[in-house]
């Protein structure tokens, strides 16, 4: 009996030694990155909750993968712990549990083989991960056999070819999993657990709508421009938690399946991006070496990849860090992006129009102007929707709603400059910082309780990114505000009489960035709108294609993103697409026929004030 125990124990102990060496080498690579937040012991104690609870909803979206990991990963962890106790420390009383754990792991190998070999999803790549099933089986049989030898009280036959095969398989399985945790295809397990402990955005594991003053879940880190921080050029310019997160990628392809740019045939694959970053040279330029430039400029920054990643990798942060260096150091913003940035520097608007033109649509409405001498409850921030006909329809409808509810509001007029969102997404931190500084100065001279906007990009920028620059405000989206008015009884609407089907398109910057999914739907419910959901909704909603400055960087695509989204709307048998973002409205209305009618929720509410209910708004 002792021969098999000694052999298995020795192999396992050697595997542990190699693992420690390999992990030290891998960790040394992460430590080459930019210093970030320090490790806190309480983060380690939070790992079980983060792994088992906080990311459960993401993992559970693929039930088959979740079940496979229960058997394979759970069996591996249990088997490894019992091997150490039984075969290394000599607690032979645990031989039966070890044999049972190995049996669970063997079942996991069968499930993994089914997923990898016979029922492979299109999003699963081939390669070294295809070796996982036989490695699981070899590991389980080798150490399970040793445990059975202990239970039987006699040695297993090691002589002859069969014994040699078992021994070699056990050694290979041990090497695949243990040193492989740091340098092989299984390194996502070690890196993933460490990543959850040292996550660059620990606030993701709390309530993203925790209230004013809570750490932002989605705001970009400010650059120290005076200190020479211009984004990421080489791999070592990423933070240590970022370098760690790239190794946490499991190559599952969920990010790729969720990515609108990838679906449109753009050069971007979030999975390929992270794989490239995990192998990027620490001292070599990332762009052009590990990542092609057009990959960066294809990203709509919609965070669909982030929300779908079971390892909680922050793909968008990496993209924007690289964009910043390309913009600030290289001046390499493609397409019309450079023109947009120049317009912002010269006129405070992306279109190059004068700020006063933002309010031309309201010439007949006698809107109250915010001033230092008179306070107001609500400051209405129009955003860039004030420059185009589509956005102006929404704004006029919103004004009707505010006046019907008796809301005390005012506007900035020509003092309203662009918030700088598009500059920051294109990587121009300096222009963003200048616009933000001047907007904060303007707002500091006024008295108001909250800022109201129909633009989720304004909502995010003012509410989430300005606080790091000294501007902290209570910013509310118009759908949230209207829903509050309805619930408070300050708005009286006549429910729709027609039975046209409506589907709601979740804007990325309202939903995934702002965490607001319910208010728009509750408003539609109050209007008695028969809502039919598209398959991709709420956190899995599909982007309209506007975010990240993509309409200006003009990456090559096979199909436009808004065309794909409108096809989903038509497939839901809806007649009308309700939107809650001026940019979404413009993108979806630009889809050629056949398409659904596109109506902002404010227009639906305004029409319901007099019982028209047709979604015509105030034209």
The span from the CA of 370 to the CA of 70, in Å, is 59
The span from the CA of 6 to the CA of 150, in Å, is 11
Range scoring the smallest mean pLDDT among 87-91, 230-234, 318-322:
87-91
Report the largest interatomic distance among the alpha carbons of the chain, rounded to a whole angstrom.
Answer: 96
Predicted local confidence at residue 566, as pLDDT:
95
Percent of the chain past pLDDT 70, that is, above it, reads 93
Range scoring the smallest mean pLDDT among 218-227, 414-423, 532-541, 561-570:
218-227
Average pLDDT score over residue span 127-132: 78
Residue with tokens 């700020």: 355
Range scoring the smallest mean pLDDT among 151-160, 277-286, 447-456:
151-160
Token couple for 50:
């983060």
Average pLDDT score over residue span 218-236: 92
What one-character-per-residue DSSP string does 496-559 give? Answer: P-S---EEE---TTTTTTT---HHHHHHHHHTT--B---SS-GGGPPP-S-GGGHHHH----SS
Predicted local confidence at residue 212, as pLDDT:
43
Predicted local confidence at residue 585, as pLDDT:
96
The span from the CA of 93 to the CA of 17, in Å, is 25
Residue 90: left (phi > 0), alpha (psi -120 to 50), or beta? Answer: left
Contact 382, 411 (CB under 8 A): yes
Question: What HEC string does 427-467 produce?
Answer: CCHHHHHHHHHHHHHHHHCCCEEEEEECCHHHHHHHHHHCH
Residue with tokens 């305004």: 606
Token couple for 417:
């400059």
pLDDT for 36-45, tens place per residue?
A: 866 677 788 8
| Residues forming beta bridges with residue 483, ordered by sequence position | none
Helix (H) or strand (E) holding 597: strand 597-600
- Band (543; pLDDT cuts 50, 70, 90): very high
Average pLDDT score over residue span 431-448: 96
The span from the CA of 336 to the CA of 554, in Å, is 8
Predicted local confidence at residue 159, as pLDDT:
55
Range scoring the smallest mean pLDDT among 13-17, 310-314, 415-419:
13-17
Q: How many CB atoms lie within 10 A of CB 475?
A: 22
Per-residue pLDDT at 120 exceeds 90: no
Listed in sequence order, the residues at least 6 apart from 591 whose beta carbon sits closer than 8 Å to its beta carbon are 560, 562, 563, 566
Token couple for 44:
């380690």
The span from the CA of 440 to the CA of 471, in Å, is 6
Q: How many CB atoms lie within 10 A of CB 278?
A: 20
Per-residue pLDDT at 213 exceeds 50: no
- Band (512; pLDDT cuts 50, 70, 90): very high
Predicted local confidence at residue 139, as pLDDT:
86
Predicted local confidence at residue 617, as pLDDT:
47
Q: Which of 511, 501, 522 is nearest to 584 (CA)?
A: 511
Average pLDDT score over residue span 111-135: 78
Predicted local confidence at residue 235, as pLDDT:
95
pTM above 0.95, yes or no: no
Percent of the chain past pLDDT 90, that is, above it, reads 58
The span from the CA of 539 to the CA of 524, in Å, is 19
Residue 369's SS3 state is strand
Token couple for 110:
């069968």
The span from the CA of 543 to the CA of 551, in Å, is 13
- Band (157; pLDDT cuts 50, 70, 90): low
- Band (154; pLDDT cuts 50, 70, 90): low
Average pLDDT score over residue span 132-152: 84
The span from the CA of 386 to the CA of 458, in Å, is 13
Q: Which of 585, 606, 588, 601 is nearest to 531 (CA)?
A: 601
DSSP symbol at 332? -
- Band (1; pLDDT cuts 50, 70, 90): very low
Give the rounded distance of the alpha carbon of 307 from its chain centre.
4
The span from the CA of 174 to the CA of 190, in Å, is 15
Q: Which of 349, 345, 340, 341 is nearest to 417 (CA)?
A: 349
Residue with tokens 């924007």: 320
Predicted local confidence at residue 412, as pLDDT:
95
Predicted local confidence at residue 89, as pLDDT:
84
pLDDT for 359-386, tens place per residue?
A: 999 999 999 999 887 889 999 999 999 9
Mean predicted lDDT score pLDDT of the chain = 88
Per-residue pLDDT at 619 exceeds 50: no
Residue 563 preceded by cis peptide, ω within 30: no
Predicted local confidence at residue 208, as pLDDT:
45
The span from the CA of 393 to the CA of 397, in Å, is 6
Average pLDDT score over residue span 124-147: 82
Range scoring the smallest mean pLDDT among 17-21, 64-68, 109-113:
64-68
């Amino acid at each position: 009996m002792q021969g098999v125990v000694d052999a298995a124990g020795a192999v396992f102990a050697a595997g542990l030694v190699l693992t420690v060496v390999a992990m030290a080498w891998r960790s040394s690579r992460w430590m080459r990155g930019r210093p970030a937040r320090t490790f806190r012991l309480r983060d380690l104690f939070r790992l079980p909750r983060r792994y088992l609870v906080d990311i459960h909803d993401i993992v559970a979206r693929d039930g088959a993968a979740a079940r496979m990991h229960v058997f394979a990963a759970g069996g591996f962890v249990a088997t490894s712990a019992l091997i150490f106790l039984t075969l290394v420390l000599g607690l032979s009383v645990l031989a039966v549990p070890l044999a049972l754990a190995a049996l669970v792991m063997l079942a996991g190998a069968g499930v993994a083989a089914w997923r990898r070999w016979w029922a492979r999803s299109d999003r699963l790549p081939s390669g070294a991960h295809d070796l996982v099933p036989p490695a699981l089986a070899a590991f389980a049989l080798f150490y399970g056999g040793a445990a059975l030898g202990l239970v039987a009280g006699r040695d297993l036959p090691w002589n002859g070819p069969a014994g040699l095969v078992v021994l070699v398989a056990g050694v290979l399985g041990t090497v695949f999993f243990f040193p492989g945790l740091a340098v092989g295809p299984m390194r996502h397990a070690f890196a993933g657990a460490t990543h959850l402990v040292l996550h660059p955005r620990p606030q993701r594991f709390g309530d993203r709508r925790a209230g004013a003053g809570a750490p932002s879940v989605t705001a970009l880190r400010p650059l120290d421009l005076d200190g020479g921080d211009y984004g990421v050029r080489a791999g070592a310019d990423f933070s240590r938690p970022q370098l760690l997160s790239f190794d946490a990628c499991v190559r599952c392809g969920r990010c790729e399946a969720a990515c609108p740019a990838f679906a449109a045939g753009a050069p971007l694959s979030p999975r390929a991006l992270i794989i490239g970053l995990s192998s990027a040279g620490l001292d070599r330029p990332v762009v052009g070496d590990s990542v092609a430039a057009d990959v960066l400029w294809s990203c709509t920054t919609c965070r669909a990849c982030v929300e779908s990643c079971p390892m909680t990798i922050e793909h968008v942060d990496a993209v924007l860090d690289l964009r910043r260096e390309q913009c600030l150091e290289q001046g390499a913003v493609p397409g019309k992006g450079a023109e947009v940035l120049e317009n912002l520097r010269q006129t405070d608007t992306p279109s190059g129009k004068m700020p006063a033109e933002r309010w031309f649509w309201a010439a007949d409405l006698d809107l109250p102007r915010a001033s230092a001498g008179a306070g107001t409850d609500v400051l209405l921030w129009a955003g860039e929707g004030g420059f185009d006909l589509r956005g102006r329809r929404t704004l006029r409808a919103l004004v009707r709603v505010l006046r019907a509810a008796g809301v005390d509001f005012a506007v900035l007029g020509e003092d309203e400059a662009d918030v700088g969102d598009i500059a920051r997404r294109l990587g121009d931190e300096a222009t963003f910082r200048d616009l933000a500084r001047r907007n904060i100065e303007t707002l500091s001279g006024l008295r108001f309780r909250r800022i109201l906007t129909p633009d989720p990009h304004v909502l995010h920028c003012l509410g989430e990114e300005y606080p790091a620059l000294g501007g902290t405000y209570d910013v509310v989206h118009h759908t949230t505000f209207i829903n509050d008015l309805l619930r408070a009884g300050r708005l009286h609407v006549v429910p729709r009489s027609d039975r046209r089907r409506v589907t709601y398109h979740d804007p990325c910057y309202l939903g995934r960035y702002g965490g607001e999914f319910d208010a728009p739907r509750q408003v539609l419910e109050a209007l008695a709108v028969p809502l039919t959901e598209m398959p991709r909704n709420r956190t899995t909603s599909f982007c309209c294609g506007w975010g990240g400055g993509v309409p200006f960087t003009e990456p090559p695509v096979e199909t436009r993103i808004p065309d794909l989204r409108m096809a989903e709307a038509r497939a839901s048998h809806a007649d009308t697409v309700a939107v809650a973002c001026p940019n979404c409205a413009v993108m979806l209305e630009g889809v050629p026929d056949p398409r659904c009618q596109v109506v902002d929720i404010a227009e639906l509410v305004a029409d319901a004030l007099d019982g028209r209910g047709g979604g015509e708004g105030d034209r």
